Structure 1
């Protein structure tokens, strides 16, 4: 099994849209991804390839002048194969020495577990973004 991560751009958008179950049914998400993969507002997208095939992607943005993982998605067929961990490893490498923020829903216990194993610390909660599913924020201190 070969797993690589590279920068992504507008040409990779169709692969990202095919992986993202939310973008298939949510026009706002589809439009946001289109803009993110074009680099709008300084966003940077990365694509994970599993044996040469698109298997996941991540979009980085900014949160109070700190790097923020806006979104990380693993293709359904590639889940539990290290795709999200590989994307996160590359993002952590690029942002070494900086506070790195990420958020996830209370319902996303898999992501919470990944963040906990990697030393991320709880940083707060925002209610009312997704009804009945608060958003939890985490930070990776620069010393890690």
Structure 2
């Protein structure tokens, strides 16, 4: 099981839409993904492949002039096989000299545990983005 990471472009949006379960039920999410993969507002995306099959993706943006992981998604069929970790490895390597921010909902215990295990520090909370499910922010300090 080898995970390969590559830069993504607008042509990869359809693959991302097929991977992301939320895009199937949210026109807003699907539109946001198309725009992100097209590089709108300076965003960049990466695709992850597991044994040659599309298995996940990550979208990067900026947060107060710092790199911010906007979204990371693993295809449900490939979870717990190192896809998200491989994407994070690549992102962390690329931004090792900068503060790297990421957020996740309180309800996403898997992502919270992954971030804490990788040395991210709690950086705050924003309420009222998703009703009843606060957004927790984390930071990885420069290495």
Is this a same-fold pair by TM over 0.5? yes
Which position in structure 2 is the counterpart of 1:51?
51
- Give the corresponding residue for 1:11: 11
SS in 1 for 2:15: helix
Give the Å deviation of 1:10.
Answer: 1.1
TM-score (norm 1): 0.98
Q: Report the CA distance between 1:11 and its aligned residue.
A: 1.3
Alignment length, in residue pairs?
Answer: 143
> Could you say what secondary structure the match of 1:31 adopts?
helix
Which residue of structure 1 lines up, in the alignment, with residue 114 of structure 2? 114
Give, in whole Å, the separation in 2 of the partners of 1:129 and 1:103.
12
SS of the residue aligned with 2:132?
A: coil
**Does 1:138 find its partner at 2:134?**
no
Structure 2: gaps of 5 or more residues: none
Partner of 1:128: 128
Partner in structure 2 of residue 2 of structure 1: 2
CA deviation map 1:52-106 (0-9, x unaligned): 0100000000000000000000000000001000000000011111000000000
Shift of 1:111: 0.4
TM-score of the superposition, structure 2-length normalised?
0.99
